Structure 1
């Protein structure tokens, strides 16, 4: 098969990636493995790295070396080696980790998180002391990915790191690590000066040891002064656990109004996280506070959080509060009634329009949420008299539930001296599909503050791309707020096939302004098409921040289901006749098709946890096999099975890396001290390898399934898993 055929018919299509990756594990010829990786790299960077890492262990030095010898810039080379997940990548990554600049060191540190190896753990723990915070941050992240408990003491020390993102990430990692040491470290973090550290610690402890942490905080509350009590209530709320509610309710009786206010806000916040049936006592307590607390700010807070908690039995009490003599409480009650969306409040909210301006403003927002059309005559009158903030709310309401008779008034307010009034008028006109305010919206997109640009973008989106598309495209590439750019890009997704969008994206990707080019790469993940793949690859090979273009490439390839646009544009190469080499044996004779069908079966079948006990139950597996009689093979490998059991019980390794090291040491010891036993074990290893790791077995089962079969013959243990890797490295003859 020619190189052109291999690239055009197989390598370029995502559907063949998994079968080709498995096929690489059959290849015994170094020349063929190298050829496959070289051709794959020409097609796509990720594909080349993936196949390099899928070669047999004996060939990976050659396949990974292809990447090392390429003249790729360092950050791309690190990323490619990370994709291989090959142990042969480690020497280069270790060297970068020691001698590289900060940009390459943090990337190498991130990459090491994908390799389970004792030496990797040592390097990552050393990286926790790196002078550059980004390296320390990635070291924490990688240690969390590896999940090794040995790193817990080192991570705990980093809670005092000078950089807040490092401290925050340490808590995230500790919160997911098993074991008492991690919990004790989280408990110590409850007293940390960093607000983020202690609140995150409380949240994780609330998930893992809720009774323990709530008892600890309760004791802290009872023994503390006002400041301590306020901070402790905050942490109780962060546990997001119903067991905290009685303590918070008890705190509502404290003499310090600041403590009571904190208790109110934490009860209300729990309403976001907990089911309504466990909040009944909390709702009752807040209703009581709204009706009777002597401090208006505490009553106001109770009103707001009754709206947040969403219990409709609070509606009558909130309506009553609208007539309270304190305007702050009335404003909060008006806001809460909008959150609860109960129409029985409409008449009282309309009466509140005659109150103080900020009460009136809150009432208008709630009436807008309730779509209370009966308030329109009142709003039209108030538009002439109220101050800017209130008029702005009225104008938005006219756009949301007004009618065509309001358009002349909106034309008038377009000319208002206040820009916020002009902008809201232009926005409301878009609700009527009226384009008169477009110049104001376009101006706001270019020169307004963040709120103004968000409002203008929302207004332009109301035309559904019929007008203003170029302004939205410009916003997607040039706005300095990520949230606004993302909003624009998400809207443009519906138009990504339009030639206007394609051309603008191409221009942005070639723009000399780094910010615009960077934003275009981010946008390409959503709106990019196959035509820009070659430009994105160029960027991946030239810029330091390689993650942006490769993420965009992956997103586009996932949509179009091929890797290389240029190859799809070529005329189909002439198919040569079948040969007799390894590659032809895989690609012809339907073997690659069999692999593809197996992957489809695995991906489409309902997921079920398979164990050594249930593997052979009827209906558990769908593939047929020609394995030797199970009991016969078990008898033939009894020495090996006993040894696996002994190693597991004696050493109890927790990772496959540890188990692999134990196997290697034990086998060397037997080979040197008991050659006769070694000969027996080696024959049994060859029997097992011949049954599990031959091409016919691979064609009928994924590697994960083979692991399950191995457990059936051996036992379900870490040592048995590591033995599969050992089998794959054995030579064919038992020397």
Structure 2
């Protein structure tokens, strides 16, 4: 470990063990150093992260540094993303994802173009929740990255930033991306729009071969809030996967799409209680008197949560009869 000078008595007491030949002793000493919560101890923690010969010590240092935003810490954690030991890389990535300041984001940005895919993905992941406007450009470029994990993290940044210039690229990903999780993320990110421009991509995704993508498409269509999606969502009420049906029912209720009544009524007889519950709530949101007898027939449902949803729906319809 690099020679350091300090007059802090607590750190001085730990120095022999921080430099011990036994990795286990050094690791425990690092934990005790971090427990001091004293910035004077950061140089020893960052040294351990970057130069200690034992991967277990470097990984511990990476975990212990998660609460610090100092530039030397952020730079050290970024460098550790390329550590030869996977536990160190994973710990550094997790600690970086806990950062909260945009100043830290500026230090992370250059790592988004690193030659290693794990480093690029981890840097983008750390940038996501910082909502750093400068991250939009690197994220847009990363949509074409050869690594699916990098593309997925790039989509996450653009969605969190609500970066509308990315909508055409996200719509293209929703249609053509080979990786299921990236397609799903792109569909979710399209929810940042509130205009009809994203409807073709979202409606098309209701026919995606992966049910997880179809589920996300139904959810996002409910958020975007355009009645033009109603017929496609009604068709999704017959999807082979109940999870897709549930999200379609929820979306149709949000849209108050009148043409959904018969399809939702049919779901009240489904074997899965969660689906019956969502169908009942959606029928209440439609605000149609025609739904009254259907809901009244479901008042004796065997599931208490479904019965509660039916009561809520009937209360909503009281004003329309």
Q: Indicate if the aligned counterparts of 2:246 and 2:275 stay in contact, CA closer than 8 A.
A: no
Q: Distance in 1 between matches of 2:275 and 2:175?
A: 36
- Which of 456, 464, 480 matches 2:225? 464
- Which of 297, 314, 317 matches 2:73? 317
1:499-518 equivalences in 2 (<5 Å): 499-509=258-268, 514-515=271-272, 518=273
Give the direction of change, closer, same or farther, for the CA distance of 1:557–1:402 in structure 2 (3 Å limit). closer
Residue correspondences, number: 280
Q: Distance in 2 between matches of 1:449 and 1:305?
A: 40
1:135-174 equivalences in 2 (<5 Å): none
Corresponding position: 1:361 with 2:121: yes
Q: Distance in 1 between matches of 2:37 and 2:234?
A: 47
Q: Distance in 2 between matches of 1:410 and 1:312?
A: 34
The CA deviation at 1:501 is 3.9
Q: Distance in 2 between matches of 1:341 and 1:404?
A: 24
What is aligned with 1:437?
201
1:7-26 equivalences in 2 (<5 Å): none
Q: Distance in 1 between matches of 2:242 and 2:204?
A: 20
The CA deviation at 1:499 is 2.3
- Which of 303, 309, 312 matches 1:552? 309
The CA deviation at 1:406 is 4.5
Q: Deviations over 1:498-535 (max 9, x none)?
A: 423434322333x5x534xx455311453333754544
What is aligned with 1:292?
48
Corresponding position: 1:333 with 2:72: no
Give the direction of change, closer, same or farther, for the CA distance of 1:323–1:486 in structure 2 (3 Å limit). same
Q: Distance in 2 between matches of 1:380 and 1:290?
A: 32
- Which of 100, 105, 110 matches 1:346? 105
Q: RMSD of the alignment, in Å? A: 4.6
The CA deviation at 1:343 is 0.8
1:69-468 equivalences in 2 (<5 Å): 281=35, 292=48, 295-296=54-55, 299-300=58-59, 303=62, 307=66, 311-313=67-69, 316-324=72-80, 326=83, 328=86, 329-330=88-89, 332-353=91-112, 354-401=114-161, 406=166, 409-410=169-170, 413=173, 416=176, 418-420=178-180, 421-422=182-183, 424-425=185-186, 427-429=188-190, 431-432=192-193, 433=195, 434-435=197-198, 436-444=200-208, 447-450=209-212, 452-468=213-229
Q: Indicate if the aligned counterparts of 2:222 and 2:255 stay in contact, CA closer than 8 A.
A: no
1:574-613 equivalences in 2 (<5 Å): none
Q: Deviations over 1:329-376 (max 9, x none)?
A: 355434433432211112321221214211210111222322333244
Q: Distance in 1 between matches of 2:315 and 2:239?
A: 26
Give the direction of change, closer, same or farther, for the CA distance of 1:493–1:300 in structure 2 (3 Å limit). farther
What is aligned with 2:283?
528
The CA deviation at 1:389 is 2.1
Q: Indicate if the aligned counterparts of 1:422 and 1:440 stay in contact, CA closer than 8 A.
A: no
1:643-722 equivalences in 2 (<5 Å): none
Q: Indicate if the aligned counterparts of 2:124 and 2:154 stay in contact, CA closer than 8 A.
A: yes
Q: Deviations over 1:653-703 (max 9, x none)?
A: xxxxxxxxxxxxxxxxxxxxxxxxxxxxxxxxxxxxxxxxxxxxxxxxxxx
Q: Distance in 1 between matches of 2:89 and 2:166?
A: 29
The CA deviation at 1:448 is 1.4
User: Counterpart of 1:438 in 2: which secondary structure?
Assistant: helix
The CA deviation at 1:377 is 3.9
**Unpaired segments of 5 or more residues in structure 1?**
1-252, 265-279, 570-735
User: Counterpart of 2:226 in 1: which secondary structure?
Assistant: coil
The CA deviation at 1:443 is 1.8
Give the direction of change, closer, same or farther, for the CA distance of 1:363–1:474 in structure 2 (3 Å limit). farther
Could you say which structure has the greater relative contact order, defined with CA pairs below 8 angstroms and 6 or more residues apart? 1
User: Counterpart of 2:227 in 1: which secondary structure?
Assistant: coil
User: Counterpart of 2:207 in 1: which secondary structure?
Assistant: helix
User: Counterpart of 2:224 in 1: which secondary structure?
Assistant: coil
Q: Deviations over 1:460-497 (max 9, x none)?
A: 23421334234445667867566x7666555555445x
